[in-house]
Amino acid sequence: MPGERVGPIALGMSAMDLAGAAGAAPQTLQQGKDTVYSWGDVAAQISNSAPGVDLITVNDPRYETPTHVRVGLASLAALAVLGQPMNRTSAPGLETFDYEGLTVVVRNNLVAQIRVRK
Three-state DSSP class for residue 97? strand
Q: pTM score, two decimals?
A: 0.93
pLDDT of residue 58: 97
Q: Where does the chain show beta strands of DSSP type E? A: 5-6, 9-10, 27-31, 34-38, 42-47, 55-58, 87-91, 94-99, 102-107, 110-117
pLDDT of residue 89: 96
Give the other-Cβ count within 10 Å of 109's Cβ.
10
Q: Tens of pLDDT along the chain (118 residues)?
A: 678 999 999 999 999 999 999 999 999 999 999 999 999 999 999 999 888 999 999 999 999 999 999 999 999 999 999 999 999 999 999 999 999 999 999 999 999 999 999 8
What are the residues facing 98 on neighbouring strands?
A: 87, 103
Three-state DSSP class for residue 28? strand
Task: Calculate the CA dihedral of residues 26, 30, 36, 40 and round it to 10 degrees.
Answer: -40
pLDDT of residue 1: 66
Residue type, 105: V
Give the other-Cβ count within 10 Å of 9's Cβ.
21
pLDDT of residue 3: 80
